[in-house]
Amino acid sequence: MTAPVPRRLPDPESLLADAPLVWAALQTAGWSAAALDELLGTTARTHLDRDELAPLLRRTQGGSVLEVLARLFVLGTEVDLKQAHAAGVPESWLVPDGFGVAAAVRLQTVVHGGVEVLVAHDPGRAADGVHPEQVLGVGAASLTLAAATPRRTVGRTLDLGTGSGVQALLAEDHSSTVVATDANPRATAYTRLSAALNGVQLDARTGDLLEPVRGELFDLVVSNPPFVVGPAARYTYRDAGRDGDDLCRRLVAELPRHLVEDGTAVLLANWLHVEDEDGDARVCSWFGPDVDGWVVQRELAAPEDYVTAWLRDSDEGSRFDELYDAWLDWFALRRVEAVAFGVLALRRGSGRVHLDDVPQPVAAAWGEQVEAFFARQASPEQGLLATPWRLRDDVRLHQVARRTEDGWYAEAQVLQQERGLRWSGGVDVYGATLLAGCDGTRRLGDLLAVLAGSAGLSEAEAAEQVLPVVERLVQQGFLVP
């Protein structure tokens, strides 16, 4: 089997003029995330990712205008020219395909936090071969960044490495101005196209990293950069193409200069764990002395697993073996033991950097935790005992109890957050009682005094037992001031 040959890519710039006609066609057909879910089923994305078109073709055989548009822009299959015209798709957006026509680009509807956006991106599935300059649709990494982005209303937002423009469009909903940059001119053209399809204004600029915004300040910066660490720069959308994890290090070093005083940057990153080095310390060392940072480590992959995952992602066909060996040799030469993936958040500050290992499933939107993290850093230290803590509203206590002669005996109690990073952790009966009293009106020290009395402990003994737990609960956001 030979590697699939990348197809010729469309020119998104040439589609811009007729974007309003396509927008009108979509509106007339009732195009929306909900309508597409109803038509294609909620598993449509999984079918598309696996190249399984049959279930989707069966669901779109009725010939309605929405079905024709879905075949063109979601499935990427051929339709009859007359059908395409009847659906209102302009000639400029069509290419000959078999006995009919296909759409020049794909459209993807994304819903995040109640905001719906439509992005345009290149056609081509992994099985057809990924082009080095391919502009991809919205994938798992895109959604990871969207989930981590604070959605507070701000003035100026920068989306660095904008691709299809998805982050820029989501940010447009809560920003006065959005600047979207990318090194790939095809990506900035797609971002303009996506903006036109959403009827919004974005300032899309082409250039390397922060070059296009030299000297400019932002309230919010989001970036899903090409963070993948490896020997070659094969794909612009994916490969850092600099030595090791240097691209992410450089971004962390340079981004603070582009933030206003209380501005926040959130980016995805990979960082290396190298033999005889502390990988956590490595990423934490990227943050300068005038920056506060939060590292949310989501995964730690062995080199073999990392390389396999990324080679599968671009479906390298028969080149798999050759590329796998070259990539692993490259890691071995650099004594790489593992590659970490996570979200890095930073603000101007005073060099306080904290790393959390967060392997658990998290909420689809947890950007408010980024704000809460920096608020904790900034708030004057009152001391744990002097603060009237409040248990966050979404925290639940799960109990496992065994029946005894005296009734139910609680064997284990687990606190679980329903939102945010969905931390969970065990507490004993005393801890649970104490937390039940944390309603934001009573100081922890007063609650602890009552608890110590009922447990027959001195206040000092009770504090010694409870304070380390409370500290963790504050850090993980169970308790808020």
Residues engaged in binding ligand SAM (CB under 6 A): 138, 141-142, 145, 161-163, 166-167, 181-184, 187, 208-209, 224-226, 236-237
Q: Cβ 242 to ligand SAM, closest distance in Å?
A: 9
CA distance 250 to 209: 9
C-beta closer to ligand SAM: residue 203 or 292: 203
Nearer to ligand SAM, 73 or 227 (CB): 227
Closer CB to ligand SAM, 111 or 141, in the complex = 141
Q: Which is nearer to ligand SAM, 140 or 400 (CB)?
A: 140
CB of 18 to ligand SAM, least distance (A): 23
CB-nearer residue toward ligand SAM: 167 or 175: 167
DSSP line for 200-241: ---EEEE-STTGGGTT--EEEEEE----B-SS----TTTB--
Query: Smallest distance from the beta carbon of 126 to ligand SAM, in angstroms?
Result: 15
- Both tokens of residue 381? 């230290």
Structure tokens, 95: 């290419």
C-alpha to C-alpha distance for 285 and 287, rounded to whole angstroms: 5
> In which residue are the tokens 């109803």 written?
38
End-to-end CA distance of the chain: 61
Residue 114 corresponds to which tokens in the numbers above? 């109640």
**Least distance between ligand SAM and beta carbon 145 (Å):** 6
Report yes or no: 158 and 179 within 8 Å, Cβ to Cβ: yes
Q: Which helix (H) or strand (E) covers residue 178, if one does?
A: strand 175-182
Shortest distance, CB of residue 170 to ligand SAM, whole angstroms? 10
Q: How far is the CB of 255 from ligand SAM (least distance, A)?
A: 13
Name the residue among 65, 348, 20 with its Cα closest to residue 198: 20
Residues 6+ apart with CB under 8 A from 426: 412, 413, 414, 415
With respect to ligand SAM, which residue has the nearer C-beta, 255 or 462?
255
Tell me if residue 184 falls in helix, strand or coil. coil
